[in-house]
Amino acid sequence: MGWRSALIRGLLTDEEWSFFEPFVVSASPLGGRPARDHRRVLDAIFWIARTGAPWRDLPAELGNWNSVFRQFRRWTASGLWDVMLEALADGGGKADLLQMIDSTSIRAHHCAAGGKGGNHRQGLGRSRGGFTSKLHIRGNAHGLPIALHVTAGQEADCSNYDALMEARDSDPAIMLGDKGYDSDPIRQDLRDRGAVPEIPTKRNRHVQHCVSRPLYALRSRIECFINRLKNSRRVATRYDQTADSFLGFAALSSIRLWIRFVHAT
C-alpha cells in the first residue's frame, strides 16, 4: 500500500473502505482483467472525481490511468454504483417517510460533446445556462439521495418526476418539492401513493395549494446536499461524453457523502 504514504489528499478512510470492499470484491467483471488492488483503484477514481482532472493526469502512485478508467467503466456498466446506493437507501428506515425532489444544472465542458447517439441522448442540451446537463435527485428526510437521474439541461423538472419515482420502490408519506413540480398529475400520483404533496403553487394557477412552512423548510437539506456534492469537481462540471459515466461520478460522490453521514450519526 505504498500509494497511501504519498501526499495525496482525499484517500478512502478505513471506515469508508469497509463499506466498499464487499461490493467491489464480489462484483463480477464484464470483460478485461479484474483489478489487482480494488482500494487503490477506488482511491484513483475518487481523486479524479474530487479534482476534476483528466484521466491522463492521474498521479502515477494511483496506478495506470487507462487501467483505472477501464475498471471504472466496467463497474459503471455493471450497475455497481446503483447497487451500493440502493443498499444505503434501504437502511434509511423512517427517513424514507419524508422525501424531497430537486434538480441542479451542471455546466458541461465542450469536451463532453460528441457522445454516441447525440448530445440529447447523452443528457446534454442548451438551456439559459448554456451547454448543460441537469441532475435530478430524489432524497430522504436527511436530503441524502435515494435516486438519481440525468437529462439535458433544458428538460423541465416535472417531466422527470416519473423517472425518479420509478428508480426506487419506496413511497413517501410526505413529498417536498419546489414550484417546478407544481403539476396536477404529480399531485394526483402522490395522493394515489398515499403521500401528501407539500409543493407550492405557481402564481398563475387558478387553484392555490397551501404548504406547511415548517415541513417545506426541511427542503433546504437537499439543497445543502447538492452544494456538498458539487465539491466533487467532476460533478460540478461535466467532462464526460456519456451520461452513464457522469451519473457514475455523481452516484459515487453521493455514496461517499452517505457513508460520512452514517458514521457521523
Tens digits of residue pLDDT in 190-238: 999 999 999 999 988 888 888 999 999 999 999 999 999 999 999 999 9
Q: How far is CA 218 from CA 63, 65, 98, 164, 203, in A?
A: 42, 41, 10, 19, 22
Instruction: Give the domains, in start order, of the chain with CATH numbers.
Output: 2-78 (no CATH), 93-240 (3.30.420)
Eight-state DSSP code of residue 5: G
All three cell numbers of 61, joined, read 502512485
pLDDT tens, residue by residue, 42-76: 999 999 999 999 999 999 999 999 999 999 999 99
What pLDDT, on the 0 to 100 scale, is given for residue 137?
97
Eight-state DSSP code of residue 253: H
**Contact between residue 72 and residue 21 where contact means Cβ atoms under 8 Å apart:** no
pLDDT above 60: residue 3: no
Eight-state DSSP code of residue 63: -
Q: How far is CA 167 from CA 71, 89, 160, 198, 250, in A?
A: 25, 12, 11, 21, 15
Q: Where does the pLDDT of residue 5 fall: very low under 50, low under 70, confident under 90, or very high at 90 and above?
A: low
Q: Which residues of 32-56 are buried (b: 16+ CB within 10 A; e: fewer)?
A: eeebeebbbbbbbbbbbbbbbbeee
Average pLDDT over residues 131-135: 95
